[in-house]
């Protein structure tokens, strides 16, 4: 397969490796503790660990896009904000 159309830079590879690592980590967590204890948080509907991971990733994408649009490059602060957001989602949603 020819993947020359994709800009496989180090940040791109780290991004996809991070997503893969999160998915593997969630699979191991689910194997060790099945069911994931669904709960009702501030959104007032039942969520599982996988739902909260998806909401975290989706929100982090929007945080980074907004950062690029309003602030510009230098996404380290956006990454920090995304991590804080993800912790909040897993804690309260």
Domain boundaries, the chain: 10-92
Dihedral Cα 83, 92, 20, 23, nearest 10 deg? 160
* pLDDT tens digits along 45-63: 899 888 999 999 999 999 9
- pTM reported for the whole predicted model: 0.80
Give which of 55, 82, 52 is closest to 67, Cα–Cα. 82
d(CA 38, CA 52): 10
If residue 93 lies in a helix (H) or strand (E), which one and from where to where?
none
Per-residue pLDDT of the chain (93 residues; tens, 9 = 90+): 676 777 777 777 888 899 999 999 999 998 998 877 889 999 888 998 889 999 999 999 999 999 999 998 888 899 999 999 999 999 998
Residue 83 Cα distances to 1, 46, 64, 77, 92, angstroms: 34, 22, 11, 10, 14
d(CA 17, CA 48): 23
């Amino acid at each position: 397969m020819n993947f020359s159309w994709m800009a496989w830079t180090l940040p791109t590879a780290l991004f996809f490796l991070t997503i893969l690592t999160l998915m593997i980590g969630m699979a191991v967590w689910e194997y060790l503790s099945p069911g994931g204890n669904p709960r009702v948080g501030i959104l007032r509907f039942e969520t599982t660990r996988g739902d909260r991971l998806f909401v975290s990733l989706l929100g982090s994408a929007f945080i980074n896009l907004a950062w690029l649009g309003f602030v510009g490059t230098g996404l380290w602060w956006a990454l920090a904000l995304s991590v804080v957001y993800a912790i909040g989602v897993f804690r309260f949603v």
